[in-house]
Amino acid sequence: MFQYSSKSLFSPVREATKLFFFLAASIAAFVFHRPLSLFLLFAFLSTVLALAGFRGFKRLYFGLLAFLLLADASFLIFLSDTGLDLVQLTLSSNLRVLCLFSAMTFFTFSTDIFALLKALKVLKIPESVYLPIYVLFRFLPEMEHDLAEIIAIQKMRGVSRKKPMLYLRSILLPLLFTSLQRADDLAIAYYLRKKQGRKC
């Protein structure tokens, strides 16, 4: 879902342009408050994704379903006495999340992270700004791959969705462990690289 594709229609477009588009779409998702405006933005981003050649819509949007249902339930439970229009609030927040994920998916699908890194260095952007972006988009595909492997392993063990709490625990705990291990390895590699750079 978050894997870069060199066959994307927008791959030849300059990385700075795609970064600007991603930032503009993210800002628009927070600026727009009416559900109709957010729905139009979501439809536009989905169309751009489809034009780019992205075909994982089912995985992208159904993967968000559990999170959105949990957020909606939290709104209904904790904000029911506030007098807010909860229907508009939940609809707007759901569309906002969908817009943000669509924009991020377009960016990661059509942007080569190494070319983006080179462009940011040319623009004299500080390393403290572009390094987290690099880490995020470099390791999202690996986390997605890890998640698919964990789900397949748990399926072989007989862990099914019939017991949702056991299923979630059996998937999220190994994913958290592998993510922390990868983060630790990355931190050590970065520390050694900086230390070596100081010696030179």
43-62: per-residue pLDDT in tens? Answer: 999 999 899 888 888 877 77
Of 107 and 28, the structure prediction assigns the larger pLDDT to 28
Residue 190 half-sphere exposure toward CB, CA atoms < 13 A:
12
Give the span between the Cα atoms of 198 and 189, in whole angstroms: 14
Q: Residue ranges per domain, the chain?
A: 15-112, 127-199
User: Residue 185 gets which letter from DSSP?
Assistant: H
78-90: per-residue pLDDT in tens? Answer: 777 777 777 787 8
3-class DSSP assignment, residue 179: helix
110-134: per-residue pLDDT in tens? Answer: 888 777 777 777 778 787 777 777 7
Give the span between the Cα atoms of 35 and 15, in whole angstroms: 30
Say what the pTM is.
0.67
Q: Please give the structure tokens belonging to residue 189.
A: 């590699």
Of 76 and 26, the structure prediction assigns the larger pLDDT to 26
Q: Go through 107-142 and write b for each residue having 16 or more CB atoms within 10 A of its CB, e for each that does not.
A: bbbbbbbeebbebbeeeeeeeeebeebeeebebbee
